[in-house]
């Protein structure tokens, strides 16, 4: 944050400087379920996307990133268009999402940056939330947490074009330190579960594979469609009334009894996708109970099982992330691990015993660069704490 403030002051020299801390998130259990209206878990980290800004009464958005070249400059009244592959899309999308319901008159001048290699931790949701909060702040717009989630989700689905659910935004906004968020993506209801009193100390490991790519260029949307096809076939096999519009088919609306009865009649690809969803929902239920009981060993095992299902049932993993996952699974001190995000790039996350961090890092450093030498200079091992969700920095000088 110091570097952000210094860069802001040297670039803009404005008063009334404000800040937003928008944390990165992990999903311990519940992967690939939110877009099927399933239940998911989430928690946020002390690694974040930070945005330092000041109101711009002339209505112009003038933002620089410390992580990407170029700067963005446009008026809040202008029709902002999507630019393939550009970091500015989330800023443009934030403006366009709020303009659906509000007249924006004040822009922002600001500088944004993240703290980690952040593929797989949903930096997109984090940065979108930061922009939405800043734009709302300077325009006197008061958004509830659920409204903030919905506007952020609109940016990714309608402006960017991803067919994802609300996991990323919900975890980013709703999470509380030391608590597990369980979100019902069908009802938008959520529960915060305090960790059990006897839970041992843990930290979150984030192993960045060195691979970053935009999800829109992967099979992410294809996997979402395959889940919907699996649901459509289950409806057809069971004689349920159903719509021919795949976009309205959700596995959450099809009972596990129907799945159990007709799963063997599904073609292999769609049977695997459905198997991941229904078994993952059971892991969310059991994982929430284990967290409440303070049983980190059991919770970690469900994470491992989620990882296996993501690789072999959902088939979203890539070799580099599978290597990291296997190393963590075989290393002492790792309670649980799974690929983070969509599984096509980014990081593998886990919960670890803090006293074993050196052993765990050595295991990765000794094996991953040999297995994937092309990434030996860009992969990274980070250890994080859990943290509260996105919030304004009320006293920027004190925070720095």
Q: Which residues are catalytic?
A: 168
Nearest CA-CA partner of 192 in 176, 205, 207, 203: 176
- Is the distance from CB of 280 to CB of 304 less than 8 angstroms? no
Task: Provide the pairing of β-strand 18-26 with 60-65.
Answer: unpaired
Cα distance between residue 249 and residue 231, in whole Å: 6
The whole-angstrom separation of Cα 82 and Cα 90 is 9
DSSP 48-96: EEEEEEEEETT-EEEEEESSSSSEEEEETTS-PPP-TT-TTHHHHHHHH
Place of tokens 């008063």: 15
- If we measure between CA atoms, which residue out of 56, 90, 102 comes closest to residue 75? 56
Please enumerate in sequence order all residues whose Cβ is within 8 A of that of 237, keeping only pairs 6 or more positions apart, or say none.
Answer: 262, 265, 266
**DSSP-derived secondary structure letter, 37:** T
Q: Print the SS3 string covering 257-311.
A: HHHHHHHHHCCHHHHHHHHHHHHHHHHHHHHHHHHHHCCHHHHHHHHHHHHHHHH
Structure-block tokens of residue 355: 């006293």
């Amino acid at each position: 944050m110091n570097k952000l403030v210094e860069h802001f002051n040297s670039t803009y020299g404005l008063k009334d400087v404000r800040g937003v801390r928008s944390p990165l998130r992990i999903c311990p259990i519940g992967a690939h379920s939110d877009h099927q209206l399933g239940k998911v878990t989430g928690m946020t980290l002390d690694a974040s996307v930070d945005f330092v800004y000041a109101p711009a009464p002339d209505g112009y958005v003038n933002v620089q990133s410390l992580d990407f070249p170029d700067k963005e400059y446009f008026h809040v009244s202008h029709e902002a268009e999507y630019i393939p592959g550009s970091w500015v899309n989330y800023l443009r999308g934030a403006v366009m999402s709020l303009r659906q319901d509000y007249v924006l008159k004040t822009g922002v001048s600001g500088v944004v940056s993240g703290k980690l290699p952040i593929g797989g931790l949903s930096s997109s949701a984090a940065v979108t939330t930061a922009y939405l909060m800043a734009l709302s702040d300077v325009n006197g717009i008061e958004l509830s947490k659920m409204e903030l989630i919905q506007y952020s989700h609109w940016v990714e689905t309608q402006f960017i074009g991803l067919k994802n659910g609300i996991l990323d935004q919900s975890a980013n906004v709703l999470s509380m330190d030391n608590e597990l968020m369980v979100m019902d993506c069908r009802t938008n209801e959520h529960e915060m579960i305090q960790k059990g009193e006897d839970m041992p100390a843990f930290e979150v490991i984030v192993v960045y594979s060195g691979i970053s790519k935009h999800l829109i260029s992967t099979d992410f949307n294809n996997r979402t469609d395959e889940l919907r096809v699996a649901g459509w076939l289950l409806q057809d096999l069971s004689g349920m009334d159903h719509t021919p519009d795949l976009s309205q088919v959700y596995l959450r609306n099809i009972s596990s009894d129907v799945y159990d009865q007709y799963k063997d009649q599904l073609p292999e690809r769609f049977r695997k996708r459905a198997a991941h969803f229904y078994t993952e929902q059971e892991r969310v239920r059991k994982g929430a109970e284990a967290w409440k009981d303070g049983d980190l060993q059991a919770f970690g095992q469900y994470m491992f099982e989620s990882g296996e299902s993501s690789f072999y049932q959902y088939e979203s993993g890539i070799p580099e992330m599978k290597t990291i996952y296997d190393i963590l699974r075989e290393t002492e001190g790792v309670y649980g691990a799974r690929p983070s995000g969509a599984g096509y790039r980014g990081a593998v996350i886990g919960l670890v015993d803090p006293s074993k961090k050196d052993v765990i890092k050595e295991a990765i450093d000794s094996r991953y660069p040999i297995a994937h030498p092309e990434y030996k200079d860009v992969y990274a091992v980070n250890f994080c704490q859990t943290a509260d969700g996105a919030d304004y920095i009320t006293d920027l000088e004190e925070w720095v």
